[in-house]
Amino acid sequence: MSKVTKLLHTRYRVNDLERTIKFYRNVLGLEEIRRHKSPRGSELVFLKASGSEEQVEICCFPAAGPVQVQADLTHLAFEVDNLEEFGKHLAQHGLKYSDGPTTTSPGTVFAFIDAPEGYEIELIQKGKSGH
């Protein structure tokens, strides 16, 4: 039976490429891996978190029209060591959590921030049990 073997990347299309890349680099700490123009003319930037193989592909393709992200459509989730400390880091960038922090019964804590274009980012501090 054929099956996929690995998640490689997730793509989000945006209106303002440089503003979005700045957010992912400076606020989330992702590393820009590469950027190029696709054969159809999309500007593409690939980023990744230091502890992950999976990448986030940010795409800007104005010919497709403006991006309008509806509420609760999709989000990316990233692990952080300490949500309280990350909240202080956000404040240094003039940002704050849009929802949470919320603690689950196993002790995991999660919160959300809004990225440019309205995409949500979930931040997860795993509990002592690892869940």
Helix, strand, coil shares of the chain as percentages rounded to 5? 20, 35, 45
Would you call 47 exposed, middle or buried from its count of C-beta atoms within 10 A (0-12, 13-18, 19+)? buried
Token pair of 22 as six digits: 């700045």
Phi, psi of 27 (to 5 degrees): -90, -50
- In a 3-state reduction of DSSP, which class is residue 85? helix
Active-site residue identified among 43, 79, 85, 122: 122
Helices (H) then strands (E): counts for the chain = 2, 8
Residue spans of alpha helices (H) in 9-130: 17-22, 83-92
Active site residue 122: yes
* Residues catalogued as catalytic: 122
